[in-house]
Structure 1
Amino acid sequence: MALKAVHVSDVPNLDQVPENASLSLYSTRLSKGLEFNRAASFRIPKFLVIGHRGHGMNVLQSSDSRMKAIKENSILSFNSAAKFPIDLIEFDVQVTKDDCPVIFHDDVILSEENGTVFEKRVTELCLAEFLSYGPQRDSGKEGRCLLRKTRDGRIVKWNVETDDSLCTLEDAFQKVEPSLGFNIELKFDDNIVYRQDHLIHVLQVILQVVSEFAKDRPIIFSSFQPDAAQLVRKLQNNYPVFFLTNGGTELYYDVRRNSLEEAIKVCLEGGLQGIVSEIKGVFRNPGAVPKIKESKLSLLTYGKLNNVPEPVYMQHLMGIDGVIVDFVQEISLAVGDMIKPAMSVTAEDSLRERKGETESKSKLQFSQQELSFLLKLIPELIQH
């Protein structure tokens, strides 16, 4: 029911986060645990590489075969991503009509029967019907045809080189490499204004599965829905919560979604730990990065530019904490080549720094290689 949402501060009967609350993430993939408490801000100890919808999102109309290699948001995609030196995978979670958290990006499922294309909202399906689309786990079963609408409005078959069945959040916890962290995006329809009690119910259903199956797996929650992001922070204090934003590259009726400055406000009001922004929004407003850092918030990014090594390296230089990428193999290897050597400090460097002999960090100088990266990046940035 599309009723006006109540502000998160008015939520009744929610457990308040105690003053000594702490959040922690640990993975053998991370050099250190990620820790947060009220006295010391949540801190990401290394530059993170996060696989978008696992091994990468599907763009069925793309001429790049990598965008159609493995079915997105599937167990196969998640474990394929785990083969590379990444830290987390990002995926989208919705809740079915019978209260089961499932992993699927689009708001609706498109299919075809007797030559007629129809669509059904994921949240209006029961689990059994949701799982009936696409390849089936039982070899003797044939799933319903799965279609997808492209950005230009065409409806095409969801054909990828290596397909896989749809899955639940529980499946992911049970079947994905345990050292791989999860960035769980709490997915809601941009065109619906949700009642507060509905948001709470959905989030509690998801949190129940996380509580039961997460074990020691690193987890970050994120959402474009500002009330949902603030609510999940109130409902639990074990895992950090990030607010997703387009950073002003697209405009929405809810002004909280329309700029990085508004995103900072959402985080500070709700006690969130960070922002995930479309990278073009950051590059068009680089002055927001120090504001985010001054607010003791972490910053991750997503977007097409994150599939290019040079923009990724520039983000490292800017102090951004990590990137969500589609080309996990290429970018994870590029990060290893470009960033890790730059982060290493010799004993001599440490001694000079202690003696105050190093130049002020504010006098950032770019090498010829870094200037070359900038020049390659500029044409990308001026495109809309």
Structure 2
Amino acid sequence: MNALASPDRRMQEVKENSLRSFNEAARFPVDYVEFDVQVTKDGCPVIFHDNFIFTKEDGKILDKRVTDLQLEDFLLYGPQNEQGKGGKPLLRKLKDGRIVNWNVQSDDPLCTLQEAFEKVNPRLGFNIELKFDDNLEYQEEELTCILQAILKVVFEYAKDRPIIFSSFQPDAAQVMRKLQSTYPVYFLTNGGTEIYADVRRNSLEEAIKLCLASGMQGIVSEARGIFRHPAAVPKIKEANLSLLTYGTLNNVPEAVYMQHLMGVNGVIVDLVQEITEAVSELITVPEPDLNADNLSNGAAKDAATPHFSQCEISFLLRLIPELVQ
């Protein structure tokens, strides 16, 4: 995700949720790319994270809800596929309320879900987040209509590509599970790091109950939720659910490696190259080098790979909740 206010320039390299970013990720040993899908007013699934899209016109900042736009209007924002054609300036509202130009080093046009299926490396799986606004209430009929529009594209274009559906919206996740059984559905949760009116969103325990009651296959938790409540991991495993995590901690190799030791099945990261390379070094035990000239080098490599006893892991799991408060 592009963190436009971050001093870390890596967070502004490639436009998030773009065909270019997905194909860049495909160069590395990752199984899936995760992205957010919303459905335009005329029923087209598009890939965009924020609920509102911002532009500047005659010196004034204007915003539109993505789901209130026709597809044609949505695609007018930002760089265009047609050479020489300029789009509307694309701005973004930050968490602190500031609205800034969406400047990245490697820009790319907005895209539809269909385009992603057609133009992204076919070996790459898609983790499709079903995006809904926390501030709106949705009836089951509305959710069904939106999800059927997404499924229409998936069933027509997915072919053999692995697919996971996920959503923070409990009802949407449940409806998606009812509508199809071809692809797994995961429930997204903050893991108790934020509190919502809907209690199903407020803890890993509630997430487990929801998944078991609805026949969902897994949970995607904010990484801090796992570190604050490490005892939830074996409970999730005992429930025969998969566990993935997301969040800024997943851009720290040591945090990712610790989750590997805890039994987390996968992590969603922003810094794909850095994390895949660093974690590969952490979890790969070097082959012993029997050449006497290289013994010291081999020992140095082995020493760089952390090795924890069960006692040490237990200690770290007790310590970590205090560190991430």
**TM > 0.5:** yes
Alignment match, 1:352? none
Structure 1 residue 140: deviation in Å?
A: 2.5
State which of 80, 87, 92 in structure 2 corresponds to 1:148. Answer: 92
Aligned to 2:144: 200
1:85 touches 1:333 (CA, 8 Å); kept in 2? no
Partner of 2:206: 262
Find out whether 1:251 has 2:176 as its counterpart. no
In 1, Cα distance between the equivalents of 2:98 and 2:148?
36
Query: Where do residues 69-108 of structure 1 align in structure 2 (5 Å cutoff)?
Result: 69-108=13-52
Asked whether 1:309 is paired with 2:253, we answer yes
Q: Distance in 2 between matches of 1:381 and 1:123?
A: 41
Deviations 1:89-137 (A, max 9, x none): 0000000000000000000101110011111000000000000000000
Partner Cα separation in structure 2 for residue 273 and residue 108 of structure 1: 30
CA distance in 2, matches of 1:102, 1:220: 17
Q: Are 2:46 and 2:111, in contact at CA under 8 Å, matched by a contact in 1? A: yes
Q: Greater helix percent: which structure?
A: 2
1:364 aligned onto 2:310: yes
Q: Deviating runs (4+, > 3 A) in structure 1?
A: 377-381
| Mapped partners of 2:100, 2:78: distance in 1 | 14
Which secondary structure state, in structure 1, belongs to the residue aligned with residue 29 of structure 2?
coil
Does the Cα contact within 8 Å between 1:222 and 1:229 map onto a contact in 2? Answer: yes
Q: How many percent identity over aligned positions?
A: 65
Q: Which has the higher contact order (CA 8 A, sep 6+)?
A: 1
Distance change in 2, residues 1:299/1:94 (3 Å): same
Which residue identity is paired with 2:310? L
After superposition, what is the alpha-carbon deviation per residue over 1:236-266, rounded to whole angstroms, capped at 9, x for unaligned? 1111110000001011111100000010111
Pairwise CA distance, 1:378: 6.2
* Residues 241 and 274, structure 1, Cα contact 8 Å, conserved in 2: yes
Paired residue type of 1:78: F
Which SS does the other structure have where 1:201 is aligned? helix
| 2:323 maps to 1:382 | yes
Deviation at 1:300, TM superposition (A): 0.3
Which range is displaced more, 177-186 or 332-341? 332-341
Partner residue in 1 for 2:281: 337
Paired residue secondary structure (1:325): coil
Gaps of 5+ in 2: 287-308
Specify the alignment match of 1:59 in structure 2: 3
Per-residue CA shift, 1:135-156, capped at 9, x if unaligned?
0000121100110011111110
Q: 1:285 aligns with which of 199, 213, 229?
A: 229
Quote the residue 1:115 is aligned against: 59
Aligned residues, how many?
303
Q: CA offset at residue 379 of structure 1?
A: 8.1
* Corresponding residue of 1:225: 169
CA distance in 2, matches of 1:206, 1:104: 14
Deviation string, structure 1 residues 39-75 (Cα, Å, up to 9, x no partner): xxxxxxxxxxxxxxxxxx1000000000000000000
The answer as to 2:256 corresponding to 1:318 is no
Is 1:239 equivalent to 2:183 in the alignment? yes
Distance apart, 1:341 and its partner CA: 3.5
Look up the SS of the partner of 2:245 in the other structure. Answer: strand
Task: Tell me the TM-score normalised to structure 1 length.
Answer: 0.76
**CA distance in 1 between partners of 2:216 and 2:321 (Å):** 31
